[in-house]
Amino acid sequence: MTMIMYNRGYEITYVPFEIKKRKGKSTVSLATGFETLLLILRIATLIDPLRIFIPLSIIIGSIGLLWGIPYALLGNGVSVGSMLAIVTAVLLFAIGLISDQISQLRLEKM
């Protein structure tokens, strides 16, 4: 909810609070960390998916171009890895646009 309020321009104030020291053994595992990371990605994708997909697309596309330029300059054509990275970047960009449209439709209902 905080991310939605921040994204819409509301002022957010954080209130510090004290926590007592835990008694017993922690139940946090590596799987819990992975689930938390996945939840953060889902929330970020719901609210503003282009912040995730566009940078990823630019990074992967740049890697593909930088990888393919030496092959192209030597007259060997385009390498398969380079073309795979460029196509992946284009697909990530398209998925980001579709995801943005879906998130806008969902956020309009709120």
Q: What is the dihedral of CA 105, 6, 45, 60, to 10 degrees?
A: 120
pLDDT mean over 66-91: 92
**What is the structure's pLDDT at 83?**
94
Name every residue whose Cβ is closer than 8 Å to that of residue 31 and which is 6 or more positions away in sequence: none
**What is the structure's pLDDT at 60?**
96
Residue 11 pLDDT > 90? no
Distance (Å, whole) CA 35 – CA 40:
9
Residue 1 pLDDT > 70? no
pLDDT band at residue 88 under the 50/70/90 scheme: very high
Which of 22-26, 60-64, 68-72, 78-82 has the least mean pLDDT?
Answer: 22-26
Q: Which helix (H) or strand (E) segment is 62 a member of?
A: helix 50-73
Please report, for the chain, the start and end positions of each structural domain, with discontinuous segments joined by +: 2-15+28-109
pLDDT in tens, 51-77: 889 999 999 999 999 999 998 899 888
**What is the structure's pLDDT at 87?**
96
